[in-house]
Structure 1
């Protein structure tokens, strides 16, 4: 039996759609291996812009995100998916009017899940475990717009187990709004940001220091891969699984932070809107590599949406056999 499912990740910074084709087999492992990515699209909608300052999702950001969701629902229906499942994260958790926005999203025909930081970390863990099949122990760093999750997993008895996870209340939107006031950014602004996030990352390291490798998720780190490996136009297949050295991460931090916003926007691999916040994302990964004493990071193009598909298959497979 085959079916399709659509997952929409309603993030603080971007809104992404994944349509997957699933072919049920005799075992869960075979079923997970059968999944096809039919369509993967994303748009930077900056739902969480000015949220820290005001406590509310801005009307313009709501309208822009809802317009994107309407488009995604139409696309999903064209593909005749079985279900359209939405996952809302940090911006909707924190905003005073988050529920009001989610009610409007539900009216479009999306099953909405407002998830906690720990649930977000679990989905990132699933995506990484089954997307990259790491050996031994690993830490997933999922950098988002309004929060950043660290998930520590191990491979045992042929399967994967989430040992611990933590979600921190910083991402590229709120860090950029808080620290970056100059164009190009001043060195002091970047160092102040690094000082702010380091104690959080040290907390994660205290729980996860035994990891063999760290794996990065999110638009910043995949963009760095595209830059480092000269990938344009963007290709998920070419990015997924690539490694970046600490030296390369530092090189791009120095290079991009010495440019003005206009100059960064001229680089083909960097989306216009991502150019505004990419510096903060690089600081997160550079600091994580420093604290975890790792000289390279593996990069996954699979994220929350893929984790949600894996979770959906696991739950469906389990209920069909109970």
Structure 2
């Protein structure tokens, strides 16, 4: 049985075709992602602009055509932070329903965190009793703590690469005061989250920012993200990448090996979240997962059918 699923994110629309041969047997046949920035300028008035809606509707149509050609019925479209926040989300959802006859499911931040946790759990190292997962998206960051047997806590925080870029970064290249203001904000956010000590806990990361940091670090084509699955990056290397990126203009970042040019304007804020989190909790390294929310969502859907 072949199926397809679409995820409407803050910064990109993801599409996956998978084949199921049983509850635990899942083969990803194809995976695509289009950076369209549905939330462009949304954090000024909490509304998705007309141009972004039109672009997203067109991309959804293109992926639905692909699903038909590949004989992989689209079983679900779900969305995360961008539609949780948008004041005009009902307008967007209705536009998609009228255009294509399918409803969009808006999942909660806690459910998104749980899916990230499930997607990354296969990378848990037996040397650690527990692990944490951080998923840095465009509008929010999800953090989960647990073990392979159970999850202790999963939270969603309204800090993301796009949200913080639009809020804090106005200059190109970014200046010291902007970095300082962003860093102070992150310290306060993590303080308010009341997270436990991460000492002796493995950290696993996913999401566009973390995968981009890994492809930059490993000098890999950003389109080959499967090659960074299970790779490890040290805190010091992340700090080096963060400082290096902050010195470059957006145009220079667009030409940087390993970085999708369409992420060049938001990569500094996203990396600041990762660096700030690891610094706050004294975490020395992070294991990178190329799998994320959409893979776990597909697995969950298939499991519900068997």
Is the shorter-chain TM-score for this pair beyond 0.5, marking a shared fold? yes
Distance (whole Å) between structure 2 residues aligned to residue 292 and residue 203 of structure 1: 14
Distance (whole Å) between structure 2 residues aligned to residue 174 and residue 237 of structure 1: 27
Runs of 5+ unmatched residues, structure 2: none
Equivalent residues in 2 for 1:69-88, closer than 5 Å: 69-88=60-79
- Are the aligned partners of 1:217 and 1:302 in contact in 2 as well (CA < 8 Å)? yes
Distance (whole Å) between structure 1 residues aligned to residue 6 and residue 125 of structure 2: 26
Q: Alpha-carbon deviations, 1:265-317, whole Å to 9, x = none?
A: 11242222200100001001001111221110011111110110121122223
Q: 1:137 to 1:202 in 2, by over 3 A?
A: farther
What is residue 243 of structure 2 aligned with on the other side?
254
Q: Alpha-carbon deviations, 1:119-141, whole Å to 9, x = none?
A: 111111111114x2443311111
What is residue 282 of structure 2 aligned with on the other side?
293
Q: CA deviation at 1:204?
A: 4.2
- Are the aligned partners of 1:73 and 1:109 in contact in 2 as well (CA < 8 Å)? no
Q: More displaced, 114-123 or 196-205?
A: 196-205
Among 22, 28, 31, the alignment partner of 1:37 is 28
Runs of 5+ unmatched residues, structure 1: 25-30, 318-322
What is residue 225 of structure 2 aligned with on the other side?
236
Is 1:153 aligned with 2:146?
Answer: yes
Q: 1:5 to 1:118 in 2, by over 3 A?
A: same
Q: CA deviation at 1:211?
A: 6.2
Equivalences, count: 303
Q: CA deviation at 1:210?
A: 5.9
SS for the counterpart of 1:39 is strand
- Are the aligned partners of 1:19 and 1:76 in contact in 2 as well (CA < 8 Å)? yes
Q: 1:5 to 1:292 in 2, by over 3 A?
A: farther
What is residue 65 of structure 1 aligned with on the other side?
56
- Are the aligned partners of 2:199 and 2:282 in contact in 1 as well (CA < 8 Å)? no
Q: What is the root-mean-square deviation of aligned Cα atoms in Å?
A: 1.7
What is residue 126 of structure 1 aligned with on the other side?
118
Q: CA deviation at 1:98?
A: 0.5
Q: 1:87 to 1:242 in 2, by over 3 A?
A: same
What is residue 107 of structure 2 aligned with on the other side?
115
Among 205, 208, 212, the alignment partner of 1:219 is 208
Is 1:192 aligned with 2:181?
Answer: yes
SS for the counterpart of 2:148 is strand
What is residue 53 of structure 1 aligned with on the other side?
44
- Are the aligned partners of 1:152 and 1:208 in contact in 2 as well (CA < 8 Å)? no
What is residue 142 of structure 1 aligned with on the other side?
135
- Are the aligned partners of 1:150 and 1:204 in contact in 2 as well (CA < 8 Å)? no
Q: CA deviation at 1:69?
A: 0.6
Scaled by the length of structure 2, the TM-score of the pair is: 0.94
Distance (whole Å) between structure 2 residues aligned to residue 211 and residue 17 of structure 1: 36
Q: CA deviation at 1:256?
A: 0.9
Q: CA deviation at 1:83?
A: 3.7
SS for the counterpart of 1:206 is coil
Q: Alpha-carbon deviations, 1:207-231, whole Å to 9, x = none?
A: 4636611111111111111111111
Scaled by the length of structure 1, the TM-score of the pair is: 0.89
- Are the aligned partners of 1:244 and 1:296 in contact in 2 as well (CA < 8 Å)? yes
